[in-house]
Structure 1
Amino acid sequence: MNTPAALFAPAADVDSDEAIARDVAAIGRISAVPSLLKIICQNTGMGFAAVARVTDGTWTACAVEDTIQFGLEPGGQLKVETTLCSESRMARQPVVIDHASTDPVYANHHTPRLYNIESYISVPIIHSNGDYFGNLCAIDPRPAMVSDARVVTMFTAFADLIARQLETEARQERTETALQSAQDAAELREQFIAVLGHDLRNPLSSVGVAAELLIRRQAEPDLVKLGTRLKASTRRMSALIDDVLDFARVRLGSGMGLAIRETEFLASGLNDVIDEVRAAHPALDIRDELSVSGVVRCDQGRIQQVLSNLLGNAVAHGAPDQPIVVRADVRNGQLVLSVTNGGDPIPPGDIAKIFQPYWRPENSKPGGGLGLGLYICSEIAAAHGGTLEVTSCADEGTCFVAKLPIT
């Protein structure tokens, strides 16, 4: 059975090539459709079955089962006005013909005569929101009992299944598009943060130099005081930039960079951090119990960063009239570094959130940082193959413990 070539037509202007191709592809992704079309042909004895995309202007085959050489393949088109699918679309009802040449309604209809068919069934594929997609249809040059209620029910069920699956496909595509857009936006944002943090280094360095010059003006106490305050602010800004850059590196996938090497000076490096915090907060009682000796393998700068951030957290949230205690020793090939402070315990509900980026407790003071310090500490610990944990209670205070393999 051959279809006249003149009956194939290009898509009308109201149907873009892109929209048609998208819908053909969507049907093609539904793995059950070929099986459904085979079942239709086997159960009805008809030789051609198809899922068609039908609009006012176009009829496009999206999937085809053809054993009678009708001549259509997925993407192939017919002039919509030559099909009975257009009538089904207007009525939003199935069109069913058992024997066209003897049918009182369709004996003289142009479609059966044009395509030399006797049996025909076309059932609308309608989305749950009422949008019309097309038709599930079958034809054959021989008569067939397609008006049987079981056949019509099968077609209706299959058409509904295809409509629901198309909706699922569309939802998944929207979700994937939204996810990709969100990922692209997040990556762009984090790249911007990284570039901004890098570009802040030069002006911040100039501010630091100016602070040092002011501090040297010993004959002018007011300038020394201003320089000292400016130097402290510069140091704090530099630490914030470090945290932001580290966060951007982790989130962009390059990970927390480490420079592991052997060092004999880890203890003195930790003491340097403690002395710096003591100098910035002379009113606080900061105690140390360090027992780290010999050669260890680690990224000393990153471990100093962990201690600096943990001490900064203790200074910000601990009770000013209770001591802050720093302990460090080596046990079983691990550096165990802890910072303990007194004060109100961390609420149990906050413990699970405390290492999340940008998270700060509700009672945080304004200007207290970005909420990245503890997140960066946990990432440094993880990069070393270690852990960072916290315990907090009224009797024993809040204690952060980092356990880092160093051998």
Structure 2
Amino acid sequence: MKNKNAPGEGPPKDPAIEAETDALAQLVDAIFRRMPQALAAVVASPASGPWRAIAARGRQESSFAAGQSLEQPENAWMRELGEPAIDPPPPENGALRLRQPITLRDGSFFGNLCLVASRADSVADAGLRDAAGVFAELAALLIAQSRRSAEAEARLGNEAAAAEQRERFVAVLAHDLRTPLSTVRALGETLSIAPERANLPRIAKILLAAVARMASLIDGVLDLARARLGGGITMRWQSCPDLAERLSQVVEEVREARPGQQIDSQIRIARAIDCDPTRLQQLLGNLLDNALTHGARDRPVSIVAETSESELEIRVANEGAELDQETRERIFEPFWRPKGAKRPDGLGLGLFIVEHIATRHGGSIRVDSKDGSTIFVFSMPVSRA
């Protein structure tokens, strides 16, 4: 029979703690089956904060319950540290109170195994103390085993999630590369048989766009690998006096690519910034792409970039449906997309890379979504000094 927490305590949320609790509950059950003289058995521990009964059994309704606090003065004997001790019997009931420390394999103190038993004689009491020592050692073994099991399950879960993520990544990458590759192949075949050269400029422009799309996908994969393996994405630091011009160039390129979309831009940077300007262009481009993809098509997207005495701040906002809590919490994860996303394909690396660019600049990125508007705010120091 499993001991549950006392009302109001709630079940443990950590699977490892829950496994420990179940194992220790089975231990105190076993103590009661093997030791008929036991009146109460409690595993007392401060592992999760104040001292409480991790597991408990008693033969009376007023006995200890799993989950209850042990901070009361009458339970002080359960909270004492050091060598095991047999307390003198209380004169009113003649019961024996015994405390045995539970020491884990790494030498750390977990808590005490506390027993209240009927007093018999000195021989029986000594035997009870020896048994308590054995049960305390068994408790340490059960805790270690439950923790190993929980860690193994967590690793298996992480590996399964990683495997699923890798499969999805490969499938999406193959899908996204297929389209520009098909374009390059079709135009190459056209060039091989076309006698006239009048369409060469148009064909060249389409070819370059397809190659740029493939290069962008490959760069995203490389940035993902650099962010997760080794020293993070590559950075080329410099003092950049023309960052405003570089960011304005990104905005103009996006406007040209999406002529029907209103993009309002206010870029006020009148000083040199210690940064990797190419990475900040990438950051702004990714934020703009996200805003244009997920925002309302008939509403403007706004960009504001400005400096204070010590910080550069870039804000990108769009109007449209507000982000729910799960999306706000997971939006910077790679490959993750909210249900009903407007663009179900794609690698889903844009905002993940944005967060890493922000971190590498010693800055931060956050998202706020309310009143029909979503805004991403990036900030960083203007100087590395």
TM-score for the superposition, normalised by structure 1: 0.51
Partner of 1:170: 145
The answer on whether the counterparts of 1:289 and 1:328 sit within 8 Å (CA) in structure 2 is yes
The answer on whether the counterparts of 1:337 and 1:403 sit within 8 Å (CA) in structure 2 is yes
Distance 1:212 1:261 in 2: 40
* DSSP-derived class of the 2:330 partner: coil
Partner of 2:379: 403
Partner of 1:151: 126
The answer on whether the counterparts of 1:346 and 1:392 sit within 8 Å (CA) in structure 2 is yes
Q: Deviations over 1:309-355 (max 9, x none)?
A: 10110111111111112222222132221212222222355323322
- Alignment of 1:333 with 2:333, yes or no, is no
Identity among equivalent pairs (%): 32
The answer on whether the counterparts of 2:173 and 2:346 sit within 8 Å (CA) in structure 1 is no
In the alignment, structure 1 segments of 5+ residues that lack a partner are 1-145
After TM superposition, the structure 1 = structure 2 runs for residues 232-311 of structure 1, keeping only pairs within 5 Å, are 232=209, 234-311=211-288
- Alignment of 1:374 with 2:347, yes or no, is no
Residue 198 of structure 1: how far off its partner (Å): 12
Q: Deviations over 1:343-384 (max 9, x none)?
A: 222235532332233332222034343333222212211221
In the alignment, structure 2 segments of 5+ residues that lack a partner are 1-120
The answer on whether the counterparts of 2:180 and 2:210 sit within 8 Å (CA) in structure 1 is no
Q: Which has the larger radius of gyration?
A: 1
Residue 394 of structure 1: how far off its partner (Å): 3.1
Partner of 2:58: none
The answer on whether the counterparts of 1:339 and 1:399 sit within 8 Å (CA) in structure 2 is yes
RMSD across aligned C-alpha pairs, in angstroms?
4.4
- Alignment of 1:219 with 2:195, yes or no, is no
Distance 1:345 1:169 in 2: 46
Distance 2:288 2:316 in 1: 7
Partner of 1:357: 334
After TM superposition, the structure 1 = structure 2 runs for residues 41-190 of structure 1, keeping only pairs within 5 Å, are 148-177=123-152
Structure 1 residues 323 and 368 mapped into 2: Cα distance closer, same or farther (>3 Å)? farther
* DSSP-derived class of the 2:317 partner: strand
Distance 1:361 1:190 in 2: 15
Paired residues in the alignment total: 258
Residue 298 of structure 1: how far off its partner (Å): 0.7
The answer on whether the counterparts of 1:326 and 1:340 sit within 8 Å (CA) in structure 2 is yes
Residue 270 of structure 1: how far off its partner (Å): 1.4
Partner of 1:317: 294
The answer on whether the counterparts of 1:194 and 1:245 sit within 8 Å (CA) in structure 2 is no
Distance 2:149 2:302 in 1: 53
